[in-house]
Amino acid sequence: MIKWREAYERLRPTAAFKAYYNNLGATDFRYIVFSNPALSISPLTPSAAAAGGAPGVAVGPLQQQFPSGAIILGVTASAYQAQQEAGAANYAPSASDGRRDLFALAFQYTSDEQLTANGLTVAECLLGGGIDTIFPARELLIPPSQSILITAASLVAAGGQNLFVNCGFHCMVPRMAA
């Protein structure tokens, strides 16, 4: 995840940051606080592919709103799948702690500008393996009253169970919005 102090120092002198937050007093470091809104994307139905790996029916785009704007420092996601015994017919252990190898994500701004250039991307490739948050590579400055749209799809093999995905946005927002 991007360090807040570094992001603030890069953004503070920009015209966009001043235009979005100056009237809120948020250009002063003390008036911006941490927030962690999360969006549940579920259920994701299994892929039609017998071996999995191909995206199933996409869910979304779902909208994560930022009424007062935000500076996104990192995005994380994980999936939940109902627990089964190791000997069950459709038991499939995951290679990823957050089960990010079992679903794909795509992000875009409400202005239709893509954040994930190739559409749906395996979540583990996009977000990292869970040890460190690697998306986004640079902070995202979200104007007030804007949103990010999220689309997700399961990569679980046909006959598998639905996935329940949660996506969290680690961001800084004006103090009055927290």
User: How do residues 106-120 score in pLDDT, each as one tens digit?
Assistant: 999 888 888 888 889
User: How do residues 145-174 score in pLDDT, each as one tens digit?
Assistant: 889 999 999 998 888 888 889 999 999 888
Cβ proximity of 164 and 43 under 8 Å:
yes
**CATH label of the domain that carries residue 109:** 2.60.120
Domain count, the chain: 1
**Model confidence band, residue 63 (pLDDT cutoffs 50, 70, 90):** very high
pLDDT, mean over the chain: 82
Q: Which domain holds residue 99?
A: 4-177
- Quote the tokens at residue 124: 């583990």
pTM of the model: 0.81
User: How do residues 73-98 score in pLDDT, each as one tens digit?
Assistant: 999 888 887 766 555 555 555 555 56
82 φ/ψ angles, rounded to the nearest 5 degrees: -50, 135
